Amino acid sequence: MARPSPKPHPEPLRGPDRLLANRGPFIDLRSPGEFSTGAVPGAVNLPLLNDDERHQVGLTYKAEGQAAAIALGETLVSGPVKDARLAAWLAFIEDHPDTWLYCWRGGLRSRNAQGWLREAGMSIERVPGGFKALRQRCLEVLDAAPGTRPWLVLGGRTGTGKTVVLNEASGSIDLEGLANHRGSAFGAALSPQPTPVTFENALAVDWLNHDHPYLLLEDESRTIGRLAVPPAWHAQMQAAPVVILEADLESRAAHIAEEYVAEPLALGISETSLAESLQGSLDRIQRRLGGLRHRQVSEQLADGFRTGEHGPWIQSLLSWYYDPMYDYQLEKKEARVIFRGDRQAVREFLDDYEPEGRSDQVC
């Protein structure tokens, strides 16, 4: 008899976990340069000091000490500059009354901003320990996640629509969505990927909000574009049961044509730019594809943009490149496969799935 599934979150989330799970909202007072290295979900960058001002204050701190640096900061951010920054904070808080403030460590910048807001009649809490504390908590959450409940991995050849099924299923987290990457040689994001810090923080927040008896993830390699799946998560995924989504070659090609051609064109990307981008991706795998096949797929790709028929080049690429690679990887996972089927069958399986204990957990 299967043991009952563990119940997530036996107690309400508290402290930084609650703030993170609620996605703040946060006013991030760090400079734009600091913010660009990584943030937490729900944060808007409304800095106390811009990059140049922070640089000047830092130089003064090193040369003359804290008192001189504070005095310079008060001079730089005064009059109309101070009024404009305070007005931006007040406008955000008006739309988000439950806002929290943070800077790097929850220290001087947060206290100053808090004081200015208080003088303007607005009382706002600041995050204890600032961004550094939130970041540390996110890392702790990610490290602790494996082993707390059963995990399930959704696999399948390229183009089967794994992401569609994943996002329809309860209890899933979309790693590719968080990474803003489609996870293949042709998966270059339509907009830049987040920084590693932002990606990991967003993943931690999704986990804090996860309240399903098991976690469903798409089968991924160690990296998604230029971002790495956290080591503890990747190790857990390599031990979890696998569900395989199956589809025939023609329907897979049609799905890819929709995702990689029709959708970008609908977003306003020109045919010329898209064709060049896809050809560039094809060129990057030329050595693995082989010279002759590379030329053939290139010709089919060009024909596809002339005629609007993209099935031939996609089917060739699937048959010659993606399928052999996937089948090789699947051989290593065969012992962990617990179900195979088309979209409808997999949906029904996931709806009815009840994990048995924690035999798949990494110890």
Question: Can you tell me which residue has the tokens 């808080």?
Answer: 93
Q: What residues contact 202, with CB distance under 8 A and at least 6 apart?
A: 40, 41, 178, 194
- Tokens encoding 55: 């640089």
SS3 label, residue 172: strand
* Bridge partner residues of 243 (DSSP): 154, 339
Question: Can you tell me which residue has the tokens 């830049």?
Answer: 192
Number of H helices, E strands in the chain: 19, 10
Tell me the torsion sign for CA atoms 116, 122, 125, 131: negative
Can you tell me the distance from the alpha carbon of 112 to that of 116, in angstroms, rounded to the nearest whole number?
A: 6
Can you tell me the distance from the alpha carbon of 27 to that of 124, in angstroms, rounded to the nearest whole number?
A: 10
- The catalytically annotated residue of 20, 103, 245, 301 is 103
Neighbours of 143 (CB within 10 A): 13
Strands (E), the chain: 26-28, 43-45, 100-102, 125-126, 151-156, 215-218, 223-224, 227-228, 242-245, 337-341
The verdict on whether 103 is a catalytic residue reads: yes
Q: Which residues are tagged catalytic?
A: 103
